[in-house]
Amino acid sequence: MHIPRRPVRTAASVLWVLGTFFTTGARSPHAPSQSPHPAAAIRLAITFDDLPWVGPLPAGDSAAIQPIDRIAAVLRVHQAPATGFVICGEVAGHEALLHDWVAWGNTLGNHSWSHHDLNGRSADAWSADVQRCDDYLKAYGAGYVPYVRFPLLHEGQTRSKRDSVHAALRAMHLGVAHVTVDNSGWLLAQADARAMAAHDAAGRHAVARAFVHHIVAAVRHADGVARRKTGRSVPQVLLLHANTLVAERLDALLLTLSARGVEFISLQEALADPAYGRVDEYVGPKGLSWLYRMHPLSVADARWDDAQADSIRARFALGTPVAQAPARREAGPRPYLAFHTPRGFDSIFAAAATSARMRSLLVMHRGALVAEAYFNGAGPESPANLKSVTKSLTATLVGVALRDGSIHSLDDSIGTYLPELVHRHPDKAGITIRELLTMSSGLHPVNYGAIQQSPDWVEMLLRQSFDHRPGDGFVYDTPVLQLLSAVLQRATGLSMREQVSRNLLGPIGAELVHWRLDAQGLALGGNDAYLRPRDLVRLGELYRRGGMWSGDTVLSGDYVRQATAVQIVPPSPTVNHGTLPVRGYGYLWWALDLDGGTAYAALGHGGQFVLVFPRRELVVVMTSRWPSASSTGHYRLVTRILLQQILPRFPLRASEPP
Ligand SMILES: [Zn+2]
């Protein structure tokens, strides 16, 4: 049973992008390989305008949630903290998206309520519009950094208007989020939208190459201007937009920039540079890079930007404004991206592709990935929010901690590991690890919305009253697993992220992309871990192999058997997702009523599945978009595909393998 190691994630795209560069001869004089002074690296803050989203969405997505998640995940992978400038009047219905953006470690800034062009408004009306957005964004607490990005970078075409707007911003304690790397990415996004509407894949590819090339050239140009005007390198501020072109090409862009020695910093770090305190010498109608506006005024530098825009307009025939492509749904089969398509899987993938919520479908048989496809704009690099599959990940960490002796017994009380609780909450301190693993702590569930605002989740949980004696009944509850996170962190001396990376995913060749933390910095035991589907299938495979991987015992076989067997019977036999037959609950795993009771699953909200069928030597992973609206139709489809199309292809062995 051989599973090849995951390929180096980024090599192909690096080579592809650098190839474009060197063949056009646009090699930077500051490329790291040529510079004897590493200190000459360009420091760059990344900002996104027009949140929540601008322009058409990637094919198949009907809400902005997935693409912005994709941007956030790419930023996280590159350790590039970004600020997103919000058009507050367009947020309605997308609040969760902004909360996610902040949860991923990014910040929000003010792009006004209505995105009015200051050139066409009075200073008072425009400032009131900014004030309204400021009031709104304060609800995001520390996630909101008090900076304004002027729509179209128009800061007032007359001196009196410019001065009065800036005075109003000072009175609101708002700084100006200057842009130094202005660019024509927005034009390329138009070309991309047009190619997307025409289903022109080659056209989109050409736009994508031009995009990376253009932005890197713009960064280099800005660095040249800064050096000429200040005699040194100045931290730069890059303007991008929250659009489909950027969502799909950000990884390639950041790889190329990193390869050329660019370091990513936060907006606040960049703006702290004295260059941003220089006198603004420009008064006029244009939106200009701060580098041109600051003393000494150099409006002529904008010719470079104009020439770039002209060449992009000419190359992509953007001379006239592009009509917005109608947002109509495609008729006929939707496209999908398949890497392994065994015989008969065309129809399975086509069936899966009929759901706008489907993201990935992977099948591992006898340890080999035999089927793999992505849907609705997702790809192998798109992380999935595991939602409640996170619970099974946490349960696995308990098993790992038992194996290495950090936890002695599942019947240990939480007070054994968190002795400070014994005095504060003597009754609650007796809850055992086993009771948490089987959703039978007896604690009255906290309101999930309320605990999100709490500075101390553990304390809030322990203030809940008991609904029944611990161990007596099953109540499915997500926040209560924060008690398990606290125990694991204390018992191992490692954060949850460290535990999962070092002791679980690392040994099986997988990688954690992100795991959301609570206000105390404790990863959520029950929700919001992010993995790529290829890595998620390895978690299922680890269980199928009884905890062994490449000759090492990652988990004991005993723990695997206990965790996936029925430990407690929920009041409703199909409690989760309705459509899958469930026998009971193990340790944060569901025991399924399939294959003679030998199959089990980790299940997450909206359609995240890790399904293990030991008697078929089979692991199936499916991930989905998870809108708040009902997903029953999607669950039905997924279950039908699983039971009627996938399982019959893999014969059931007479007995479970040893
Ligand atoms: Zn804007």
Q: 261 — alpha (psi -120 to 50), left (phi > 0) or beta?
A: left
Alpha carbons 361 and 348: distance in angstroms, whole number: 10
| Shared-domain flag, residues 280 and 427 | no
Alpha carbons 156 and 149: distance in angstroms, whole number: 13
- Tell me the per-residue pLDDT of 572-595, one tens digit each, with 9 for 90 and over: 655 455 678 888 999 999 999 899
Nearest alpha carbon to residue 61 among 224, 221, 244: 244
Mean pLDDT of the region 612-637: 85
| Shared-domain flag, residues 55 and 141 | yes
Torsion angle of alpha carbons 304, 309, 310, 315, nearest 10°? 130
| Shared-domain flag, residues 489 and 586 | yes
110 within a domain of the structure (yes/no):
yes
Residue at which a domain ends, from 259, 283, 315: 315
Nearest alpha carbon to residue 523 among 386, 416, 422: 386
Residue at which a domain ends, from 586, 604, 622: 604
| Shared-domain flag, residues 309 and 168 | yes
Output the CA angle 98-102-104, nearest 5 degrees.
115
Distances (CA, A) of 220 to 41, 213, 261: 11, 11, 11
Q: How confident is the model at residue 420 (pLDDT cuts 50, 70, 90)?
A: very high
The per-residue DSSP string of 498-512 comes to HHIIIIIIGGGT--E
Question: What is the CA(155)–ligand 1 centre distance, in A?
Answer: 13
**Structure tokens belonging to residue 209:** 């190459």
| Shared-domain flag, residues 278 and 387 | no
Q: Domain of 425?
A: 382-604
Of 530 and 576, the structure prediction assigns the larger pLDDT to 530
- Tell me the per-residue pLDDT of 269-297, one tens digit each, with 9 for 90 and over: 999 999 999 999 999 889 999 999 999 99
Question: What is the CA(44)–ligand 1 centre distance, in A?
Answer: 20
Q: How confident is the model at residue 368 (pLDDT cuts 50, 70, 90)?
A: very high
| Shared-domain flag, residues 121 and 210 | yes
Question: What is the CA(288)–ligand 1 centre distance, in A?
Answer: 14
Peptide bond into 296 cis (omega under 30): yes
**Residue 549 main-chain phi, psi, to 5 deg:** -145, 120
Q: Is the per-residue pLDDT at 19 higher than 70?
A: no
| Shared-domain flag, residues 212 and 108 | yes
Q: Is the per-residue pLDDT at 34 higher than 80?
A: no
| Shared-domain flag, residues 302 and 388 | no
559 within a domain of the structure (yes/no):
yes
What pLDDT score was predicted for residue 58?
A: 63
221 within a domain of the structure (yes/no):
yes
Instruction: Say how far residue 583 (Cα) sits from the centre of its chain.
Output: 33
Question: What is the CA(480)–ligand 1 centre distance, in A?
Answer: 41
Taking all residues of the chain, what is their mean pLDDT, rounded to a whole number? 86
159 within a domain of the structure (yes/no):
yes
Question: What is the CA(50)–ligand 1 centre distance, in A?
Answer: 5
424 within a domain of the structure (yes/no):
yes
Distances (CA, A) of 491 to 373, 404, 436, 479, 546: 39, 11, 16, 20, 24
Question: What is the CA(385)–ligand 1 centre distance, in A?
Answer: 29
- Tell me the per-residue pLDDT of 166-223, one tens digit each, with 9 for 90 and over: 999 999 999 999 999 999 999 999 899 888 888 888 899 999 999 999 999 999 999 9
**Domain of residue 70, CATH code:** 3.20.20.370
Q: Which residues contact 296 (CB under 8 A, 6 or more apart)?
A: 229, 281
Burial status of residue 505 (CB atoms within 10 A of its CB: 0-12, 13-18, 19 or more): buried
Ion ligand 1: residue ranges with CB closer than 5 A = 49-50, 151
- Tell me the per-residue pLDDT of 69-103, one tens digit each, with 9 for 90 and over: 788 888 988 899 999 999 998 887 777 788 888 98
Residue 651 neighbours by CB distance under 10 Å = 10
| Shared-domain flag, residues 582 and 467 | yes
Number of folded domains that form the chain: 2
651 within a domain of the structure (yes/no):
no
Alpha carbons 305 and 639: distance in angstroms, whole number: 53
H/E stretch holding 148 reads strand 144-148
DSSP 3-state assignment of 554?
A: coil
Q: Are 145 and 107 in contact (CB under 8 A)?
A: yes
**Domain of residue 464, CATH code:** 3.40.710.10
Q: Are 87 and 111 in contact (CB under 8 A)?
A: yes
Q: Are 60 and 356 in contact (CB under 8 A)?
A: yes
Question: What is the CA(164)–ligand 1 centre distance, in A?
Answer: 21
DSSP-derived secondary structure letter, 272: T
Question: What is the CA(466)–ligand 1 centre distance, in A?
Answer: 51
**Structure tokens belonging to residue 24:** 């056009």
Question: What is the CA(9)–ligand 1 centre distance, in A?
Answer: 33
What pLDDT score was predicted for residue 439?
A: 96
Q: Which residues contact 12 (CB under 8 A, 6 or more apart)?
A: none
Output the CA angle 35-255-390, nearest 5 degrees.
140
| Shared-domain flag, residues 515 and 391 | yes
| Shared-domain flag, residues 247 and 396 | no
Alpha carbons 64 and 623: distance in angstroms, whole number: 17
**Residue 43 main-chain phi, psi, to 5 deg:** -100, 135
Question: What is the CA(416)–ligand 1 centre distance, in A?
Answer: 54
Burial status of residue 337 (CB atoms within 10 A of its CB: 0-12, 13-18, 19 or more): middle
- Tell me the per-residue pLDDT of 117-168, one tens digit each, with 9 for 90 and over: 998 889 999 999 999 999 999 988 899 999 999 999 999 989 999 999 999 9
Question: What is the CA(176)–ligand 1 centre distance, in A?
Answer: 14
Question: What is the CA(154)–ligand 1 centre distance, in A?
Answer: 10
Mean pLDDT of the region 33-41: 49
What pLDDT score was predicted for residue 577?
A: 58
Q: 123 — alpha (psi -120 to 50), left (phi > 0) or beta?
A: alpha
Alpha carbons 177 and 209: distance in angstroms, whole number: 28
Q: How confident is the model at residue 442 (pLDDT cuts 50, 70, 90)?
A: very high
Distances (CA, A) of 128 to 91, 116, 158, 168, 172: 18, 11, 19, 9, 10
Question: What is the CA(49)–ligand 1 centre distance, in A?
Answer: 5
For 430-445, give one letter per residue: b (16+ CB within 10 A) or e.
Answer: ebbbbbbbbbbbbbeb
Q: Is the per-residue pLDDT at 15 higher than 50?
A: no
Residue 283 neighbours by CB distance under 10 Å = 16
Question: What is the CA(239)–ligand 1 centre distance, in A?
Answer: 10
pTM for this predicted structure: 0.56
Q: How confident is the model at residue 7 (pLDDT cuts 50, 70, 90)?
A: very low
Using DSSP bridges, classify how beta strands 548-549 and 552-553 pair: parallel, antiparallel or unpaired: antiparallel
DSSP 3-state assignment of 421?
A: helix
215 within a domain of the structure (yes/no):
yes
Q: Are 527 and 514 in contact (CB under 8 A)?
A: no
What pLDDT score was predicted for residue 332?
A: 44
321 within a domain of the structure (yes/no):
no
Write out the E strands in 331-478. 336-340, 358-365, 368-375, 384-385
DSSP-derived secondary structure letter, 432: B
DSSP 3-state assignment of 323?
A: coil
Alpha carbons 239 and 546: distance in angstroms, whole number: 50
Peptide bond into 52 cis (omega under 30): yes
Q: Is the per-residue pLDDT at 8 higher than 50?
A: no
Write out the E strands in 183-288. 236-241, 263-265
Q: Are 255 and 216 in contact (CB under 8 A)?
A: no
| Shared-domain flag, residues 305 and 402 | no
Residue at which a domain ends, from 294, 315, 336: 315
Alpha carbons 624 and 622: distance in angstroms, whole number: 7
Question: What is the CA(319)–ligand 1 centre distance, in A?
Answer: 21
Alpha carbons 649 and 585: distance in angstroms, whole number: 27
- Tell me the per-residue pLDDT of 468-514, one tens digit each, with 9 for 90 and over: 999 989 999 999 999 999 999 999 999 999 999 999 999 999 999 88
Question: What is the CA(518)–ligand 1 centre distance, in A?
Answer: 32
Q: How confident is the model at residue 330 (pLDDT cuts 50, 70, 90)?
A: very low
Alpha carbons 441 and 139: distance in angstroms, whole number: 33
